[in-house]
Amino acid sequence: MSRPWVIGMTGASGAVYGVRLVQEMLRTGQTVHLVVTDAGWRVLHDELGWNAAKRREMLAEHLGGEEGQLVYHPIQDIGASIASGSFRTQGMVIVPCSMGTLAGLSRGASDNLLERAADVMLKEGRRLIVVPRETPLHAVHLENMLTLARMGVRILPAMPGFYHKPQSLNEIVDFLVGKVMDAMEIEHKLYKRWGEHNGD
């Protein structure tokens, strides 16, 4: 059985990216350990209409998965399994990643479970992928990204492509989620790759 992935969601706009990634990972049989910041829950409410007061119910309703396939960790549970390097995982994706979380990661902060889990990935040499969603970017944002990139973190900004000629918002979301899954080396069919087009 393959090791699980940790997925973090923060208060940046673009909650749909994180939700869609988890849905697709569960569909393909991956085990997901999920942690969402308080601001992340606010965005899930504001952008997708989730009832943040019924967190576990919302996850079960919108994400599903088989028994034990989705493990939810409250943001302040610093004693959770994913807070320890001895808990073996394939890596972690933070999607969407706010600039505040990005700043915390770049300075090695562990102020909550999400930051601690990401710090574990760095100290254990595991894969860490962040999907920042902000515009415009100022110098400190860029410096923080450069700091993380130099540490081996994969920076995958929420910048959808259009060469696959999307016909809906869902196809735009799936393109970005597919790029994340490419970085995770998980097979998918979320978008047509370059060279797979017919006629042009």
Tens digit of pLDDT for each residue in 6-44? 999 999 999 999 999 999 999 999 999 999 999 999 999
Per-residue pLDDT band for 197 (boundaries 50, 70, 90) equals: low
Residue 16: which of 140, 173, 191 has the closest Cα? Answer: 173
Check residue 200 and give its pLDDT: 46
- H or E stretch including 129? strand 127-132
Check residue 139 and give its pLDDT: 98
Q: Say how many CA atoms lie within 13 Å of 107 toward its Cβ.
A: 9
Average pLDDT, the chain: 94
Query: pLDDT tens digits, residue range 119-138?
Result: 999 999 999 999 999 999 99
Assess whether pLDDT exceeds 60 at residue 111: yes
Check residue 195 and give its pLDDT: 77
For residue 184, the tally of other CB atoms under 10 A from its CB is 20
Bigger pLDDT: 167 vs 64: 167
The fold adopted by the segment(s) 5-184 is Rossmann fold (3.40.50)
* pTM for this predicted structure: 0.94
How far is Cα 81 from Cα 175, in angstroms, rounded to an integer? Answer: 31
Percent of the chain past pLDDT 90, that is, above it, reads 88
Per-residue pLDDT band for 199 (boundaries 50, 70, 90) equals: very low
Check residue 121 and give its pLDDT: 98
Residue 72: phi and psi, rounded to 5, are -100, 135
Check residue 1 and give its pLDDT: 62
Q: Per-domain residue ranges for the chain?
A: 5-184
Assess whether pLDDT exceeds 70 at residue 164: yes
Query: pLDDT tens digits, residue range 64-88?
Result: 888 889 999 999 999 999 999 999 9
